[in-house]
Structure 1
Amino acid sequence: MTATHAHLAAPGHWIDGGFTEDVHARIEVVSPVTGSVVATVPSGTAADVDRAVAAARAALPGWAGTPTSTRAKTLARLAQELTARNEQIAQAITAEIGAPIGFARMAQAGLPAAVAAATAELEPSVEWAERAGDSLIVREPVGVVGAITPWNFPLQQTMTKIAPALLAGNTIVFKPAELAPLTAAILAGAIAAAGIPAGVFNVVYGSGAVVGEAIAAHPGIDMLSFTGSTAVGKRVSVLAAQNVKRVGLELGGKSANIILDGADLEHAVAETLVNSWSNSGQACGAWTRLLVPADRHDEIVTRLAEAAAAYTVGDPADESVRLGPLASQKQWERVNAYIEQGIAEGATLAYGGPGRIPGLESGAYIRPTIFANVAPDSTIAQEEIFGPVLSVIPYTTEDEAIEIANSTIYGLNAAVFGAPEDALRVAHRLQVGQVYLNGAGLNMLAPFGGYKQSGNGREFGRHGVEEFTEVKAIQLGETAPAAGQGPL
């Protein structure tokens, strides 16, 4: 471990408001830039999960009984604490997954604080109690939430779970990805500084095979919220079914981006590359399939290749770099194999390609790649690559474009560029959880989640908070109190 990153090592699991001391094994965090170890974190066991669950259950009555307005104020303080730690968070994420430092500050560190603040502001809009005839319908905490998150947006994916879960009155046992665990201790410190009581938030580091499975199967956990691959999502669902616990899944994607006749091509091309290659394409919602009118295919591919030249690849510590390395050598091998397969299956390589980049051979750097004339049923058009690989697919009619867009097992994101009325018409026919029209951005008040094998449940906004609540109907007599009166 280098002296530069020694402070990133977590001394122990964070359980009941403090770091544990009896750590017998540790996980090395390896830089994708140099291949060297930059920090270590504990390697947990099922017994560590048991202790974290016990702490969360003990803290549950007090936190669940705290007024929602108070919980919202605490979340607002958490947003401030995260903002104060922006540089520390950004440096940690750059060290562990190679995110360019500018992007790490803006998105990887900036968005989690924004999520906490936006969630706090939702408190008045949630129907915590309402009348329906002679019944009082109340929303109550689910209980102890097990949260398991991926490595690509380590803190952002965490906050989309714990912010609404905390507002709803739940307590949490959290397992960060072993590839990118360094922000978990920073988050724990921010939570303590914000005044969230001990035991409400707990962290157990470790592998998915040990800690992840223990969380998914634990009878003391009432809900599992998981973000990751579809394959692992299926596995944790099976484990969670043993206790019939609620499961929220945000899984893979193969998002289609449709350019219609009449679209602003310059704008569409620029937005396509940003949303395909941000975070080196390591995003479940990346727009990895570009569907274009067949008679404009060559023109659009030329425009894409010209715009792609601005996407410099290099050391993520360099402020001018737009794409850092992939998160690991294993990830590099996976993405490179897909690029080679695309060539083997007959797609036209229009930009980039396989192999190491001259001068950057020692890191997990890969060329951002564009394929043209991609067959809709080819491997690169159907499977989630999770790298900066864009497939351009020609279509001849609007109906064909919609059929191609809906042809994968996934249904997370989609985008449409065209005249507003045309884009909206197409959006209604797409089998996805969200559609971005003409470059519209993320709205944290709107629900985010998938159809089909992209998962279930929703994050963000009021719907995201409601995911972490149980609904109870209380049948009242004639002297019933008005809606809204009660412990919440």
Structure 2
Amino acid sequence: MIIESYVLGRWMTGKGEGQPLYHAVTGEYIGSASTEGLNMGEVLDFARQKGNKALRKMTFQQRGLMLKALALHLQQHLPELYSLSYKTGATKADSWVDIEGGIGNLFSYASLRRKLPDLPYWPEGEAHLLGKAKTFMGHHLLLPKEGAAIHINAYNFPVWGMLEKIAVNFMAGVPAIVKPATVGCYLTQAVVKHMVNSGILPEGALQLLCGSTGNLLNEVNAQDTITFTGSAHTGLQLKSNPTILQNNVSFTMEADSLNAIVLAEDVEPGMPEWDLFIKEVRREMTLKCGQRCTGVRRILVPENKIDLVQNDLSKALSQTVIGNPLNEKVRMGSLAGKTQKAEVLKQVSLLLKTSELVYGNLETVEVVDANAQAGAFISPLLLRNNQPLHTSEVHNIEAFGPVSTLMPYRNLEEAITITKLGKGSLVSTIVTASRNTAREYVLEAGTYHGRILILNQQCGKENTGHGSPLPMLVHGGPGRAGGGEEMGGLRGIHHYMQRVALQGSPDMLTAVLQQYQPNATGIPATIHPFKKHFEELEIGYQLITKSITMTSELIDAFANLSGDHFYAHLRNTDFEGTMFTQQVAHGYLLLSLSAGLFVDSYEKNPVLLNYGIDELRFTKPVYPGMSFHVRFTCKEKISQDKKEPTDIARGIVKWLVEMIDDENDELIGIATILTMVKKLEQ
């Protein structure tokens, strides 16, 4: 049986015998995977012409709801996905990280829609005034790239590896071509089938290659984006493709790295941090059978405690039950396949040239409810290297399995030096109860690691672990780790968008960006803005309020009401040596009085509530006797989805509030306030 690929809007089978796939636990034949005969140029063109054009028309809000719908749909098929995941050698805990962790990424990126405009593109950052007459300005705009996101993924996480990446490119408005590692592509395929059958994705948004990439990378152009997860050696080969280099195609690599965990000198046996350290190393060595790009490969401990650590780690590892992942007692399954097992043992043999094996067995392993010879089982292997500053293998060779190496250090400076010998990693952990140690480690070692976990008693129960990347934080690292960044919340979306610097008049930029820009011509209000429903409001709809005069009585009353008796707000203050010449109004008094000027009072209207303030600045002191008015403008609109069918249909309206001195037409304050406004259609 050939595992089908999903391309050109249909399921297709490649030619030839393909690569055979086997059950990681039983060794049984599953099928084979081949993409031979598929036209990769057509696959890319289909993504660009169909998927890209459909996604780039959707707003961020629509894309976010699409991700949410996908996540909810996949949750309905968890039993089937777990059943397939066991065939990869994964335990229930391993599968949870892969499957539900991946679905969690969809939910996380879906939630980012609340921070993004209700537009297909993203007016980024603040406006920049470029002329004294206020007729020339600049702004940055992010547009979805017109190509495809090509994801070449590793074999350790067939589901998470795909979902954590497509969540980002879909949110940006770019289609994906996913090439999972062939050994577990049948699990990735099952997820894609459910997403395709859901009808949630537009045609061409997602394609799947089960097998080789063929000549796909020879067909890319500058609008495409490539991400790769795997070995640094393979990544370099792909990145060096002449087409990629010639067209300056964006290529992000997340390579396996020799991640380090450091037990600080202040941690002693019996301390909570000691137990956390032992637990964390054991988990990192055995979760997913050690097949994690973020796994702990180097264990650094003070030289006077290395024997104690070795003893405690050995005891902890000996309690790990290995075998059939379907057995509830099993805590570590198998490697993904016998090919992977052979590769791990090969790398361990190289490490043993300068290290010794202090726990585990290279030849045999006791398993529960399984045949050790039929499956790709392996013992946890703890090595020890007593001269980490004078041997290179432990800093250059990675055995991608349940393999880690203990090594001693004399002081924190030396520990930091040793971690840097790995030439860059995805993550490092420092286990310490000392704030000074944590600070020194982060500041001195941080340039060599993409992420640092500071682990102590306080976060011991809640922390997600050394090896757990999170959607809102970047996942990647410098040097050997690939030099890239994935996920990272809004930062990740930037990766699939082109930043354009716009220059022009405020009116022109308002028209292009569909967000009101300061100093643009407003649309004079014929009725009060608060009497308009969400759909009726236009960007630029503007109310000029009447004026109000500041008095000492108002300032005194606000001071008494709020309890803010800062010296500058008092009449009898000696203002010599201060920034003020006399009693000055509270900034929040200005905002409160402004609200009194622009709020439509007494009658019920479509405004449901005040949602908050995004930006607020007080730009000029206001003294008694000064008069000001407010220019109140509809700046941006964001539609909201109903959480419950009975909810009131509504949207968020952002208003630019400009407080203006009557005498010289200068700003005394500026804010962006948000209101929740009822829609006409329920």
TM-score (norm 2): 0.66
What is aligned with 1:141? Answer: 144
CA deviations over 1:177-201 (Å, ceiling 9, x no partner): 1111012322223323151111111
What is aligned with 2:286? Answer: 277
What is aligned with 1:335? Answer: 344
445, 460, 485: which is aligned to 1:458? 485
Q: CA deviation at 1:22?
A: 6.9
Q: Which structure shows the higher helix fraction?
A: 1
Task: Give the conservation status (yes or no) of the 8 Å contact 1:340–1:354.
Answer: no
Give the counterpart letter for 1:34 in structure 2.
T
Task: Give the conservation status (yes or no) of the 8 Å contact 1:149–1:177.
Answer: yes
Task: Give the conservation status (yes or no) of the 8 Å contact 2:149–2:177.
Answer: yes
What is aligned with 1:268? Answer: 277
Q: Does 1:189 align with 2:179?
A: no
What is aligned with 2:376? Answer: 364
Separation in 2 of the partners of 1:451 and 1:432?
Answer: 6
Task: Give the conservation status (yes or no) of the 8 Å contact 2:85–2:95.
Answer: no
Q: Does 1:423 align with 2:438?
A: yes
Local SS of the residue matching 1:179? helix
Separation in 2 of the partners of 1:312 and 1:341?
Answer: 27
Which has the larger displacement, 68-77 or 177-186?
177-186
Separation in 2 of the partners of 1:69 and 1:170?
Answer: 15
CA deviations over 1:114-139 (Å, ceiling 9, x no partner): 01110111123358213431222111
Local SS of the residue matching 1:256? strand
Q: Does 1:473 align with 2:504?
A: no
What is aligned with 1:163? Answer: 167
231, 234, 237: which is aligned to 1:235? 237
What is aligned with 1:447? Answer: 474
Q: CA deviation at 1:374?
A: 4.0
Separation in 1 of the partners of 2:150 and 2:385?
Answer: 43
Q: Does 1:224 align with 2:226?
A: yes
Give the counterpart letter for 1:418 in structure 2.
T
Task: Give the conservation status (yes or no) of the 8 Å contact 2:14–2:35.
Answer: no
Cα distance 1:371–1:69, how it changes in 2: closer, same or farther (>3 A)? same
Q: CA deviation at 1:32?
A: 2.2
CA deviations over 1:378-402 (Å, ceiling 9, x no partner): 4234311111111111000110000
Task: Give the conservation status (yes or no) of the 8 Å contact 2:151–2:165.
Answer: yes
Q: CA deviation at 1:63?
A: 1.2
Separation in 2 of the partners of 1:259 and 1:168?
Answer: 40
CA deviations over 1:252-275 (Å, ceiling 9, x no partner): 110010100223211111011112
Q: CA deviation at 1:484?
A: 5.6
Aligned residues: 472
Task: Give the conservation status (yes or no) of the 8 Å contact 1:52–1:203.
Answer: no
197, 201, 207: which is aligned to 1:202? 207
Separation in 1 of the partners of 2:308 and 2:171?
Answer: 49
Separation in 2 of the partners of 1:374 and 1:381?
Answer: 13
Matches within 5 A, 1:247-266: 247-263=251-267, 264-266=273-275
47, 54, 59: which is aligned to 1:56? 47
416, 435, 450: which is aligned to 1:433? 450
Give the counterpart letter for 1:273 in structure 2.
R
Matches within 5 A, 1:23-422: 23=15, 25-41=17-33, 43-45=34-36, 47-59=38-50, 60-95=52-87, 97-100=88-91, 102-126=92-116, 128-130=122-124, 131-133=126-128, 134-142=137-145, 143-192=147-196, 193=198, 195-207=200-212, 211=213, 214-219=215-220, 222-239=224-241, 240-263=244-267, 264-345=273-354, 347-357=355-365, 360-376=372-388, 377-421=391-435, 422=437
Task: Give the conservation status (yes or no) of the 8 Å contact 1:353–1:369.
Answer: yes
Give the counterpart letter for 2:305 in structure 1.
R
Separation in 1 of the partners of 2:179 and 2:14?
Answer: 18
Cα distance 1:25–1:341, how it changes in 2: closer, same or farther (>3 A)? closer
Separation in 2 of the partners of 1:92 and 1:380?
Answer: 35
Separation in 2 of the partners of 1:22 and 1:336?
Answer: 33
Task: Give the conservation status (yes or no) of the 8 Å contact 2:264–2:301.
Answer: yes
Q: Which of structure 1's runs of 4+ aligned residues deviate more than 6 A?
A: none
Same amino acid, percent of matched pairs: 22
Cα distance 1:230–1:426, how it changes in 2: closer, same or farther (>3 A)? same
Q: CA deviation at 1:406?
A: 0.6
Greater RCO (CA < 8 Å, at least 6 residues apart): 1
Give the counterpart letter for 1:413 in structure 2.
V
Separation in 1 of the partners of 2:231 and 2:349?
Answer: 22
Task: Give the conservation status (yes or no) of the 8 Å contact 1:277–1:286.
Answer: no
Task: Give the conservation status (yes or no) of the 8 Å contact 1:46–1:214.
Answer: no
Q: CA deviation at 1:356?
A: 2.8
Give the counterpart letter for 2:423 in structure 1.
I
Give the counterpart letter for 2:115 in structure 1.
S
Cα distance 1:91–1:420, how it changes in 2: closer, same or farther (>3 A)? farther
Task: Give the conservation status (yes or no) of the 8 Å contact 1:44–1:204.
Answer: yes
Local SS of the residue matching 1:458? strand
Give the counterpart letter for 1:189 in structure 2.
K
Point out where structure 1 has 5 or more consecutive residues left out of the alignment: 2-8
Task: Give the conservation status (yes or no) of the 8 Å contact 2:180–2:188.
Answer: yes
Task: Give the conservation status (yes or no) of the 8 Å contact 2:13–2:35.
Answer: no
Task: Give the conservation status (yes or no) of the 8 Å contact 1:86–1:105.
Answer: no
Give the counterpart letter for 1:367 in structure 2.
S
CA deviations over 1:229-268 (Å, ceiling 9, x no partner): 1111111111121322111111111001010022321111
Separation in 1 of the partners of 2:506 and 2:112?
Answer: 32
Point out where structure 2 has 5 or more consecutive residues left out of the alignment: 129-136, 268-272, 516-635, 639-682
Give the counterpart letter for 2:235 in structure 1.
G
Task: Give the conservation status (yes or no) of the 8 Å contact 2:68–2:110.
Answer: yes
Local SS of the residue matching 2:68? helix
Q: Which structure shows the higher strand fraction?
A: 2
Separation in 2 of the partners of 1:188 and 1:181?
Answer: 10
Separation in 2 of the partners of 1:187 and 1:48?
Answer: 23
Q: CA deviation at 1:320?
A: 1.8
CA deviations over 1:58-98 (Å, ceiling 9, x no partner): 22122111111001000001111222222222222221x21
Task: Give the conservation status (yes or no) of the 8 Å contact 1:253–1:454.
Answer: yes
Bigger CA radius of gyration: 2
Local SS of the residue matching 1:180? helix
Task: Give the conservation status (yes or no) of the 8 Å contact 2:16–2:36.
Answer: no
Separation in 2 of the partners of 1:435 and 1:194?
Answer: 40
Separation in 2 of the partners of 1:322 and 1:344?
Answer: 30
Give the counterpart letter for 1:375 in structure 2.
Q
Separation in 1 of the partners of 2:230 and 2:207?
Answer: 20
What is aligned with 2:6? Answer: 14
Cα distance 1:334–1:56, how it changes in 2: closer, same or farther (>3 A)? same
Q: CA deviation at 1:485?
A: 1.8
Task: Give the conservation status (yes or no) of the 8 Å contact 1:149–1:175.
Answer: yes
CA deviations over 1:433-467 (Å, ceiling 9, x no partner): 00111163243211111111211331122222221
Separation in 2 of the partners of 1:306 and 1:457?
Answer: 37
Task: Give the conservation status (yes or no) of the 8 Å contact 2:345–2:399.
Answer: no
